[in-house]
Chains A and B, each alone.
Chain A
Amino acid sequence: MTQFNGAGEQPAILVEGLTKSFGQVHALRGIDLSVPRGTVLGVLGPNGAGKTTAVRILTTLLVPDGGRAVVEGHDVVREAAAVRRSIGLAGQSAAIVEELTGRENLEIIGRLYHLSRAETRSRATELLEQFGLADAANRTAKTYSGGMQRRLDLAASLVGRPRVLFLDEPTTGLDPRGRLGMWDIIRSLVADGTTLLLTTQYLDEADELADEIVVIDHGLVIAAGTSEQLKNRIGGDVIEFTVPDRGRVADAVAAIKPIGEGEPHADPETGVVGVGVGARGSEALIEAVRALDAAGIASHGLALRRPSLDDVFLTLTGHGAEDEQPNGRRRGPRGRGRAKERGTPEGQSPEEKTARAAS
């Protein structure tokens, strides 16, 4: 999908026809990806879309059933050891030892990369400063906030100076402030030229951080492109309102149809009507008010909002982004998925988060 890598230069990550099943669950059904060096790919999809499975294969934690994946020129199956020397991984939870201090956590990783004692110390100091943890360096990680723990986790993934970094839902479970802090840090890494593959459930996150976005659902790539291209396909911003008189929902759809850039969608039960309006935002909003007024339709909560992941899925697949398939992980007695669901507010939409931030 990305063709702007120069002649002869191979991409940092290349994935072709990758498949993986867990029993009856087809987590990946043949995905292709190409990430040029020094760029950021955002892999967007709901829970259970196959994002984590893809990351686990690319980081040599899982062996695919079919297809191939190459990271920095090394096959993830046949040359796993070489791949491990060029990657860093930060997952959905903070993979740190809470009983140890921030500095100790990083120094252990440094020793495992066989850095000398002096190098280990200076690398830890450098990362703690870069991630705003210098003041907390000698406190145990247990005392850190969720955001600080995740920053420490990200720092740990960078000790070995990876050329390719995998971040699996780096902000899942963080409060809005923690999320923004994480974004700043991720942006600074990218500025240093690290190739980054980032998975997320949040469209705004992919929009903020990624050069290219791939949308996956049920183990397949269903759309790919820049954030701009993707938003154009969705129809940019969305106008949404509720018609209190359920009998007039169809009239409302007819009234706003000429304003939208795509087909309006309506829920006859809740009376919620929405339509994509592209980049014409406020102009379209005024037209919508006039059109509804002219047709004599009362409406509640008429507003313009940024497209959400749900809108992307409604447009691309015709169904919402609900969690309807088990996680890409092995099920059974494992229970990691369960623990995750218990611990973090994953179902939260970006809108809810912003609302919380504002209050």
Chain B
Amino acid sequence: MTAITGSAWAPSLGYRIRWGASDTFALTKRSLLVWFRVPAYIFFSVIQPVIFVLLFRFVFGGAIPVHVPGGYVNFLMPGIIAQTAAFATFGTAIVLAQELQKGVIDRLKSMPIARSAVLTGRLVADTIRMFVTILIIVGVGYAVGFRFLNGFGWAVAMVVLATVFGVAIACISAFTGLAIGDEEAVQSFGLIWLFPLTFVSSAFVPIATMPGWLQAFASHNPVTYVVDAMRAMALGGRLEPYLWPNLWRSMIWLAGIFIVFLPLAVRSYRRAS
């Protein structure tokens, strides 16, 4: 015991990667199983964006003049899809806080599993869930008149960008959930920042209609860059010139979010108790 050799068991890197992948897979499967077991969860993650689609398409939409091919419904859908991806991460924060509270994370941490598996398993499962939700919302959009106008390739790219954006937000949510560690607190105020972030952007209305001080925030909001890039990807045409500049800015922002919040989430997972 006085020896400082540490554990005699020193597995190779390859072995550890396979071990970690297997643990991540088991935990991903666990989360997805919950999802299949309680279909209401899918329903609830879809119902809110569907209401938004209908509300903005048919109630507010007529009053919002936009200059994009296909009119307001085409303007709206990329914004709704980005917001859906961001709001899907409520689940990430709430479930992590809940598992922390119930001692599930303690149990997992006291077991000989890869240290990264709980967080990666959660993120992988939530990414799959988010992706499915996005596809459903695209379908709903099609039902109310939305159309991709820029070809299949850019349509796929738009969905991918929305998903990557969602995963970046999921890192922030994971950090928030673990740092707060209380399900009710997370539910009531932990993710309140998502509302101004998604609404004060180009997601629902053209920024030019906002008062000047708000425009200053909205036009530098990363959600605006992501939504503008998605819109240009989906619609092309006269939005084509906006595609690459916004895509670059989006990628830099998203990389920044990953670089800052992934380590923070990992750190709060390690400290969580």
Interface residues of A, Cβ cutoff 8 Å to B: 56, 59-62, 70, 73-75, 78-79, 81-82, 84-85, 87-97, 99-100, 104, 108-109, 111-114, 140, 156-157, 160, 329-330, 333-336, 338-339
Contact = CB atoms under 8 A, between A and B. Distances in A.
B22 A84 contact: no
Contact of B7 (A74, A96, A114, A156): A74
A160 B111 contact: yes
Given A75-B1, A333-B182, A334-B181, A84 B30 contact: no
Contact of B104 (A96, A112, A114, A160): A96
Contacts of A96: 102, 104
Contacts of A113: 111-112
Interface in B144-189: 179-182, 185
Contacts of A88: 110
A94 B102 contact: yes
B109 interface: yes
Tell me which of B8, B30, B38, B108 has the highest count of chain A C-beta atoms within 10 A of its own C-beta: B30
B62 interface: no
B19 interface: yes
Contact of B37 (A73, A79, A99): A99
B106 interface: yes
Interface residues of B, number: 36
Nearest to B114: A112
11 contacts: A60-B109, A73-B1, A95-B103, A95-B106, A96-B104, A99-B38, A112-B26, A112-B27, A112-B113, A330-B273, A333-B181
B67 interface: no
Contacts of B233: none
B116 to A, nearest CB: 13
Contacts of B8: 82
Contacts of B181: 333-336
A156 B107 contact: yes
Nearest to B1: A70
A320 to B, nearest CB: 29
Given A79-B6, A81-B9, A104-B33, A329 B273 contact: yes
B104 A339 contact: no
B38 A95 contact: no
B34 interface: yes
Contact of A114 (B19, B37, B179): B19
A335 B34 contact: no
A344 B38 CA distance: 27
A194 to B, nearest CB: 16
Contacts of A335: 101, 180-182, 185
Contacts of A75: 1
A336 B1 contact: no
Nearest to A78: B6
B23 interface: yes
Tell me which of B29, B100, B104, B110 has the highest count of chain A C-beta atoms within 10 A of its own C-beta: B110
B30 A108 contact: yes
Nearest to A87: B110
Interface string B9-38: 100000000010011001101100110011
Contacts of A336: 100-101, 181-182
Contact of A334 (B7, B104, B182): B182
B7 A84 contact: no
A84 B26 contact: no
A339 B106 contact: no
Given A78-B4, A156-B107, 18 more contacts: A56-B106, A56-B273, A59-B110, A60-B109, A60-B110, A73-B1, A75-B1, A79-B7, A82-B7, A84-B110, A93-B101, A95-B103, A97-B34, A99-B33, A100-B34, A108-B29, A114-B19, A335-B181
B184 to A, nearest CB: 8
B273 A112 contact: no
Contact of A112 (B33, B111, B179): B111
A339 B112 contact: no
Contacts of A160: 111-112
A136 to B, nearest CB: 16
Contacts of A82: 7-9
B18 to A, nearest CB: 10
Given A93-B102, A108-B26, A112-B113, A62 B273 contact: yes
A157 B107 contact: yes
B180 A114 contact: no
| 7 A-B pairs with least C-beta separation | A335-B182, A95-B103, A95-B107, A91-B103, A111-B26, A84-B112, A89-B110
Contacts of B106: 56, 59, 61, 89, 91, 95
Contacts of A62: 273
Given A81-B112, A333-B180, A336-B100, A91 B107 contact: yes
